[in-house]
A = this chain, B = another copy of it.
Amino acid sequence: MTATAPTSTSTANVARELVDLCQQGRNAEAIARFYSPNIVSVESMGSEEMPAEMHGLDAIRAKNDWWVENNEIHSAKATGPFIGDGQFAVKFDYDTTFKPTGQRMQMTEMALYTVEDGKIVHEHFFYHMPQA
């Protein structure tokens, strides 16, 4: 046994376990297990309260908590992973109602994750927007 697994295996393992956890709705556990303390998270669009780029585990946990508290989740599906060299992608399909407005929406997004030393150091979300 070597102390360090090859990067590609490590990326694939992190990818599969993250998809498994998200598929079970255990996103907070995925963050705890796989996210680097120095995680950088990039959303497509930002606002004053919720900037597009966030740094560090505390900010990412707060974002995840905010989302869970403010959305009723009718269904959530994780498809993948799609594995590359030190990076992997996951497709997410959500059917949610945003509690403050009561608006129900279906959203599909791709997340692209970057792995270093077995930890996710960067996540980047790409959206499929509803027809304008």
Q: B42, B45, B112, B132: which contacts A110 (Cβ < 8 A)? A: B112
Most chain B C-beta atoms within 10 Å of own C-beta, residue among A42, A44, A109, A110? A110
Q: B45, B79, B108: which contacts A131 (Cβ < 8 A)? A: B45
Within A53-95, the residues touching B (CB, 8 Å) are: 79-84, 87-89, 91
A3 within 8 A of B: no
Interface contact A129-B44, CB-CB below 8 Å: yes
A5 within 8 A of B: no
A122 within 8 A of B: no
CA distance A1 to B45 in the complex (A): 50
Residues of B within 8 A of A108 (CB): 126
